[in-house]
Amino acid sequence: MKAMIKVEIPLDVAQKCVKCGLCKSVCPSYHGEEGSYARGRLALAEMVAKGELPLSEEVTRQWNECAMCRRCEWICPNDVHYKEIFVKARELQEKELGRDLISRAGLKSLEFMQSEAGKKIIKALGKITRFLPREIKTPLPTGAVKFMPKPDGEPFGLRGKTFKADKEQGRLLFFTGCMIDVFYGETGKSVVKLMNKLGYTVVVPQDIKCCGAPHLYHGNTSAFEKLRDHNLKEMDRYEFDAIVVACPTCGGALSEDYGREWKVYDFAELIASSQGNLSFKAQGDKLTFHVPCHSYTAMKVNPKVFYKVMERVEGAQVRKAEKDQSCCGFAGLWSIKNPKLSEKVQREKIEDFANTEADYILTTCPGCVLQLRDGVKKFKKPQKVLHLADYLARSMD
Ligand code: SF4
Ligand code: SF4
């Protein structure tokens, strides 16, 4: 006999949806079917929760196509907490039907990367591939082909170090996140340089694992809780006034899901609110910006903050793209599992940026950097893609 599965989709939250359909206008996965955006997905979740509909493959197909960007939640006039419902819906899906191979492999590899054995392998790969180009065209098992970054030459290079500011006015714990640790070490160094200049001493904990957000968004709550508890224990060993991040997905998890009353800042927020001691110079660079979904949907950073920071670069010109806040089509494993949908979203994004004729596409999420670099290469656009921290660190006066 099948064991009882205990997962409850919060009906009271789902029933707050008044079916206005506003979320359709911002959903990157919408492709004409009612089940391909939040209103339809919520209706399906409600029917499953009430026992009116079996958890069929058709239902889970619609759920799996959701990128968990949470733009629906951000625009919803009725404060429907989409994430709260979908973490539970996906947990139920996982417990009843199991998890697909790609998600299983992807989530496990995030855990493995931060293990001692994983770190050794990544360090060796970083050395072996040091003469290869920064991105390598990689065929993926779902038929997608992506320009993937190779491991950094010094992966996990910041771990366990304290970077002291000259005149310390505060201590920040830098939660680097998997992508910076493994692929984008330069971005980590840039954040340290910027924060030190602002007067913050930066502490990078030694033994941090994945923040767990990918696991939580996939409904794997037990793996998330394990990662969270490990990270909390490690973070508690250090003294700090606030946390700084350069990945809004990590930042969202730390501020929403770790159960602590701490302050979590995107590095750009600290620059935007600083006075004087940080200035930047450029020689006529034209800049445009991609606002990562989780920066405003999960971390609740006002996108104006990023523009305020870019406007501080003397000699640069900021050109706002029409759809600067739309999804880039990455969303972690989503882009691998839904290659056609992802590429459609990515193409629109890249075309929008091409229209600005900017020299640089800047952003504040390493995942978005990966996706946008892949996009400019794929669609043969001349723009350079950089994490905002790297652009600023290079332009420091
Ligand atoms: S915007 Fe909110 S209330 Fe309107 S349909 Fe979407 S989830 Fe429901
Ligand atoms: S989380 Fe994003 S992809 Fe999913 S329904 Fe909401 S807007 Fe659409």
Q: Mean pLDDT per 10-residue run, the chain (397 residues)?
A: 65 90 96 95 92 90 94 96 94 88 89 90 91 89 87 93 95 97 97 97 97 95 96 98 98 97 97 89 97 98 98 97 96 91 96 98 98 96 97 94
Q: Does domain 280-394 have CATH number 3.40.50.300?
A: no
The span from the CA of 203 to the CA of 181, in Å, is 14
The pLDDT of residue 6 is: 65
pLDDT at 13: 85
Model pLDDT, residue 374 = 96
Q: How many Cα atoms occupy the beta-carbon half-sphere of 174 within 13 Å? A: 33
d(CA 124, CA 119): 9
Question: Which of 13, 16, 20, 79 best tests ligand 1's pocket when mutated (most atoms within 8 Å of CB)?
Answer: 20
SS3 content of the chain, % helix, strand, coil (to 5): 50, 10, 40
Which residues of the chain form CATH 3.40.50.1860?
Answer: 280-394
Strand partners, 393: none
Q: Is the Cβ–Cβ distance between 358 and 391 less than 8 Å? A: no
37 lines ligand 2 (CB under 6 A): yes
Q: Which residue has the tokens 């209103």?
A: 39
Residue whose C-alpha is closest to residue 37's, from 74, 63, 76: 63
pTM of the model: 0.95
The amino acid at residue 53 is L
Q: What is the pLDDT of residue 187?
A: 98
Query: Pseudo-torsion of CA 110, 6, 49, 25, nearest 10°?
Result: -20
Q: Whose CA is nearest to atom 5 of ligand 2?
A: 38
* Pocket of ligand 1 contains residue 45 by CB under 6 Å: no
